[in-house]
Amino acid sequence: MIAAAGSGQRLGAGGPKAFVELAGRPLIEWSLAALADASRVERIVVAAPPGHDVELAGADVVAGGETRAESVRLAMEAVESELVVIHDAARPLATPQLFDRVIARLAESGADGVIAAAPVADTLKRAGEGEAIAATVDRSELWAAQTPQAFPSETLRRAQAAGDLEAATDEAWLIERLGGTVLLAAVDEPNPKVTTAADLEVAAALLASRRRAGR
């Protein structure tokens, strides 16, 4: 599943973020191509912006909601498989191999979820009053959550029904709230999220580098 209902307001795209151009094609098409090449993906469902009637080759399109979590919940109504892998259209550099690795680890581990993630590299500070530094946070056990994220479909549905969708920042959070076990799968290539115009330029540069390397 691709969550693609974001407005693109911070990007300044003048329309849905998923359809802004990146390196000659709409942003979402990079994720569609990667999912199509993943050996463990049989069907693609896209949660599109509410009110936007779009057709995407190789995918079933459903209307998303006002929030990302609500879009995923609505798209889950079209999911019939035992396992589901969820990805943000705003992460166009995810590779077929990453999708397959996350799904394979879920199937083999018996966990309640597996998510792509990267160890936090920056020094982290906790802010206090007046934006003064209150503490330096130990980053040794901290990871930055990304997508794709894979779950048993029924486990995710239960978590969605029981959780606070307005507060959910990702689906793994909903599973955690139910006491489920979610594993981390370290990314082996850059997998940034496109939020601003500068992020779009970075993504284009990374894609160009991959092409030069023949990947």
68-89 pLDDT, tens digit per residue, is 999 999 999 999 999 999 999 9
Query: Using CA of residue 172, residue 176, residue 180, residue 185, what is the dihedral sign?
Result: positive
Cβ atoms of 27 and 90 closer than 8 Å: yes
Distance (Å, whole) CA 180 – CA 144: 19
Helices (H), 151-196: 153-162, 171-177
Helix (H), strand (E) at residue 63: strand 60-63
Partners of 119 in the β-ladder = 143
Listed in sequence order, the residues at least 6 apart from 207 whose beta carbon sits closer than 8 Å to its beta carbon are 22, 23, 30, 92, 93
Residue with the bigger pLDDT between 14 and 153: it is 153
Mean pLDDT of the region 141-157: 98
Delineate the domains of the chain, giving CATH numbers in brackets.
Answer: 2-212 (3.90.550.10)
| Banded pLDDT at 215 (limits 50, 70, 90) | confident
Nearest partner of 8 among 53, 44, 49, judged by Cα: 49
Alpha-carbon dihedral angle through residues 168, 170, 171, 177, given to the nearest 10 degrees: -50
Q: Is the pLDDT of residue 52 over 90?
A: no
Q: Is the pLDDT of residue 12 over 90?
A: no
For the chain, the average pLDDT equals 95
User: What local confidence, expressed as pLDDT, does residue 51 receive?
Assistant: 82
**Cα 68-137-186 angle, rounded to 5 deg:** 55
